[in-house]
Amino acid sequence: MAFGVGSDDWGDDMPFGIDEEETSDEQPYIEEVIVKRIKIYNPRYGDDRICKCGHVYHRHFDSYEEMYPCGCKYCQCNDFQEKEKDEQETSNLHDNDD
């Protein structure tokens, strides 16, 4: 006896021990919802905010690819993390040490 696609002749051998009565109200597919989180450019965030890597926010996105979050174009920083205010002030002091 062949069982496979299109076969209605399961007889007493229902797959996985399921009774025929249990399957009468069942749908043909189990649906699974998959949530995917992606990071996208926020034009209201402020392009001139400074990352911990030292580069501005908008440099972490590719303007030629609809602002794809490619990571910083100038270093290996993959995620924009804004510098704290005290970190920015300290780095500004060092910039004027010339």
For each of the chain's 98 residues, which pLDDT tens digit applies?
454 555 555 555 556 655 555 657 888 999 999 999 999 999 999 999 999 999 999 999 999 999 999 999 899 999 999 998 776 665 554 444 44
Q: Most distant CA pair in the chain: distance in Å?
A: 88
pLDDT number for residue 93? 46
Angle at 80 between CA 75 and CA 85, to 5 degrees: 105
pLDDT number for residue 94? 46
The one-letter amino acid code at 65 reads: E
pLDDT number for residue 77? 93
* Measured distance CA(67)–CA(65) in Å, rounded: 5
